[in-house]
């Protein structure tokens, strides 16, 4: 049973949105869950100005972490939509440092091989997280960390959330934690309104009548969002017989070690 679980994500709502069921499950089982968010989320609104939105989203992240059962989130506060403008290797080093500080048994992050990911922050954070998890155990990678008393750390288990069916090798049953996932997501009010409005604008431009499909839920962003999240999780879980599921590419040790464990 893992004692410490760390999620490395781009934006304040991404941990709950993509892995909230799994993270709540770990928290319910007694693990310390640490959410690390790379950006301040200041670009995700049609209404709120960036500086104000960054403050709003930071507070929403803190409230969501409480609901999820996680520790207070670590907010790196890089500007939203500008991760690819950071100095090369900066975010990777920050992630490696945090892995060495907190020594997680499990890291949750986005699968960098999800080739259909459109957001540049997601792509950059996915690769930085993947590299950090892979190399945080090597003593000659950022040896200056040892001057701070930080030792290399090997992360035993990796859960990479992915939308690429070809990459999925583990469906996690989140039926017991779906309500907690939705409750945590409900704290991200500014982002839910933004996401629902974005979809609504596209639907209107496409000539679709959302009210005919969703009824009164179109007047309540959280109802629309809940319907979408439940539908998605039900589809993911259905092949395994779960009411709700989340899809991951799961990795543990090097294939040689895994093969020896199987043979043992």
Please determine, for residue 217, whether its predicted confidence score (pLDDT) is greater than 60: no
Q: What is the mean pLDDT of residues 196-216?
A: 79
pLDDT at 263: 80
pLDDT at 213: 65
Give, as one character, the DSSP assignment of residue 77: E
Q: What is the mean pLDDT of residues 191-220?
A: 79
Domain that holds residue 176: 4-255
- Residue 92 resides in a domain: yes
Listed residue (201, 225, 192, 200) closest to 57, CA to CA: 192
**Distance, CA of 54 to CA of 190 (rounded, Å):** 10
Q: What is the tens place of the pLDDT at every residue in 15-48?
A: 999 999 999 999 999 999 999 999 999 999 999 9
Burial grade of 88 (CB within 10 A; 0-12, 13-18, 19 or more): exposed
Q: What is the mean pLDDT of residues 90-95?
A: 98
How does residue 200 score in pLDDT terms, banded at 50, 70 and 90? confident
- Residue 264 resides in a domain: no
Please determine, for residue 210, whether its predicted confidence score (pLDDT) is greater than 80: no
Between 18-32, 205-219, 250-264, the lowest mean confidence (pLDDT) is in 205-219
Q: Which residue has the higher pLDDT, 133 or 217?
A: 133
- Residue 32 resides in a domain: yes
- Residue 262 resides in a domain: no
Supply the pTM of this predicted model.
Answer: 0.94
- Residue 260 resides in a domain: no
Domains identified in the chain, total number: 1
Please determine, for residue 106, whether its predicted confidence score (pLDDT) is greater than 60: yes
Q: Which residue has the higher pLDDT, 179 or 262?
A: 179
Q: What is the mean pLDDT of residues 171-193?
A: 97
The CATH number of whichever domain residue 86 belongs to comes to 3.40.50.10320
- Residue 261 resides in a domain: no
Q: What is the mean pLDDT of residues 174-178?
A: 98
3-state secondary structure the chain: CCCEEEEEECCCCHHHHHHHHHHHHHHHCCCEEEEEEEECCCCCCCCCCHHHHHHHHHHHHHHHHHHHCCCCCEEEEECCCCHHHCCCCHHHHHHHHHHHHHCCCEEEEECCCCCCCCCHHHHHHHHHHHHHHHHCCCCCCCHHHHHHCCCCCCCCEEEEECCCHHHCCEEEECCCCHHHHHHHHCCCHHHHHHHHHHHHHHHHHCCCCHHHHHHHHHHCHHHHHHHHHHHHHHHHHHHHCCCCEEEEEEECCCHHHHHHHHHC
- Residue 263 resides in a domain: no
């Amino acid at each position: 049973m893992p004692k410490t679980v760390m999620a490395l994500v781009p934006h304040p709502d991404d941990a709950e949105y993509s892995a909230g069921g799994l993270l709540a499950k770990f928290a319910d089982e007694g693990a310390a869950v640490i959410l690390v968010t790379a950006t301040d989320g200041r670009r995700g609104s049609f209404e709120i100005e960036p500086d104000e939105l960054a403050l709003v989203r930071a507070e929403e992240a803190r409230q969501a972490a409480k609901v999820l059962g996680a520790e207070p989130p670590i907010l790196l506060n890089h500007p939203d939509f500008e991760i690819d403008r950071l100095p090369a290797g900066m975010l990777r080093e920050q992630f490696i440092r945090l892995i060495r500080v907190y020594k997680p048994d499990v890291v949750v992050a986005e699968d960098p091989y999800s080739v259909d990911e459109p957001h540049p922050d997601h792509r950059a954070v996915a690769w930085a997280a993947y590299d950090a998890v892979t190399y945080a155990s090597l003593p000659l990678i950022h040896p200056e960390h040892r001057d701070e008393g930080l030792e290399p750390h090997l992360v035993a288990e990796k859960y990479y959330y992915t939308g690429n069916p070809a990459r999925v090798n583990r469906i996690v049953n989140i039926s017991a934690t779906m309500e907690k996932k939705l409750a945590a997501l409900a704290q991200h009010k500014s982002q839910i309104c933004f996401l629902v409005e974005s979809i609504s604008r596209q639907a209107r431009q496409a000539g679709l009548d959302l009210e005919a499909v969703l009824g009164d839920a179109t007047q309540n962003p959280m109802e629309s969002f809940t319907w979408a999240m439940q539908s998605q999780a039900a589809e993911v879980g259905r092949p395994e017989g779960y009411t709700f599921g989340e899809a991951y590419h799961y990795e543990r040790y090097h294939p040689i070690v895994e093969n020896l464990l199987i043979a043992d």
